[in-house]
Amino acid sequence: MLELRVTGLQHLGVPVTDIARSKVFYTRLGFHEVMATPLHTESGDIQVAMMKTGEFVLELYQLPNKALVEISTRGHGHIDHFALDVDDIQQVFDTVKAAGLVSLEREPVFVPFWDKGVFYFNIEGPDGEKIEFNQRLT
């Protein structure tokens, strides 16, 4: 067993084709927006909104136009990844690599989420599902 020190579920990520429509839908289900930000990438801006109910966080994100075509043609749901909280992203990254698992990122990536940002990286599970390890900076 790998020593990853997972401390909880961070969030579940769902790609959407219209983030405003999805926010309204999830608000009707009792979620409220706790964070929203654009992520600027070479292929265009990604709109991100974290929606929360109780202790559960749902990440809604709308990719740039080209990627929306693939997402809109999915026939059996849009869940893309789940994220696990960790307290030391570099230790987890090193442990995963030493175990022969492949990270989808060359190193943990910083994004300006929440107050001070987060570091994350993803691995793929046996059926191509993405598992994100996420350290929220405090």
3-state secondary structure of 50: strand
User: How far, in Å, CA of 47 to CA of 64, rounded?
Assistant: 8
Rounded average pLDDT over 99-106: 93
Most confident of the ranges 36-45, 75-84, 100-109: 100-109
Q: Which domains does the chain have, with CATH numbers?
A: 6-136 (3.10.180.10)
Task: Calculate the average pLDDT of the chain.
Answer: 89
The predicted-structure confidence for 18-77, as pLDDT tens digits, reads as follows 899 999 989 998 899 999 999 998 888 999 999 999 999 999 999 887 777 777 777 666
pLDDT surpasses 90 at 128? no
**Which pLDDT score, from 0 to 100, does residue 127 have?**
62
Check the CA dihedral 106-111-11-93 and report its sign: positive
